[in-house]
């Protein structure tokens, strides 16, 4: 974030973050760690609500965590305590920039309820677009158009 703000063509007071999947999780973390981010867009944010993800999907990395916990039953609380350090929900609770989220209800990789966990924990003004019949792609190009439109309105001086 600091590097982007040093570029000659960037207005350092109007920097937004956006991403999908892992990029959405990273954008969410950035919004939680950098208090003056101007806006956030997170499409199908990854690595949010680990405990929920492990319980409801057989997709990786959640399946790997479940496999580990199946073999190390006595370490469940320690594992989730450690994962909480980089769970998107913790970052969401710290973030205050206007935010737009998106998720597909048929997403097995980033289950929608994990995105809802981050959305509900989010500390700033927020909106979410839910795509009933989409998977990990969520709204695809329509999500990008929403982000560009929303960012335009927020970032105008």
Strand partners, 43: 20, 102
Contact predicate 141/47, CB 8 Å: no
Is 136 a residue of the active site? yes
Task: Please give the structure tokens belonging to residue 79.
Answer: 């594992």
Is 58 a residue of the active site? no
What is the Cα–Cα distance from 108 to 57, expressed in whole angstroms?
A: 6
What are the distances in angstroms from CA 115 to CA 7, 69, 73, 154?
A: 32, 23, 27, 23
| Residue 47 falls in which region: left (phi positive, over 0), alpha (psi -120 to 50) or beta | left
Active-site residue identified among 49, 87, 102, 107: 107
Active-site residue identified among 21, 87, 102, 143: 21
Task: Please give the structure tokens belonging to residue 72.
Answer: 């190390």
Is 72 a residue of the active site? no
List active site positions.
21, 107, 136
């Amino acid at each position: 974030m600091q590097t982007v703000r040093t570029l000659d063509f960037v207005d350092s007071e109007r920097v937004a973050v956006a991403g999908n999947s892992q990029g959405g999780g990273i954008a969410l973390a950035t919004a939680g760690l950098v208090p003056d981010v101007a806006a956030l867009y997170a499409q199908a944010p990854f690595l949010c609500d680990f405990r929920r993800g492990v319980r409801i999907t057989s997709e990786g990395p959640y399946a790997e965590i479940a496999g580990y916990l199946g073999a190390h039953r006595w370490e469940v609380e320690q594992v989730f305590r450690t994962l909480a350090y980089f769970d998107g929900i913790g970052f969401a609770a710290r973030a205050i920039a206007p935010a737009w989220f998106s998720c597909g209800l048929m997403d097995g990789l980033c289950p929608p309820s994990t995105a809802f966990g981050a959305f509900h924990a989010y500390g700033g003004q927020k909106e979410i677009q839910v795509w009933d019949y989409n998977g990990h792609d969520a709204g695809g190009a329509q999500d990008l158009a929403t982000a560009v439109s929303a960012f335009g309105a927020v970032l105008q001086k």
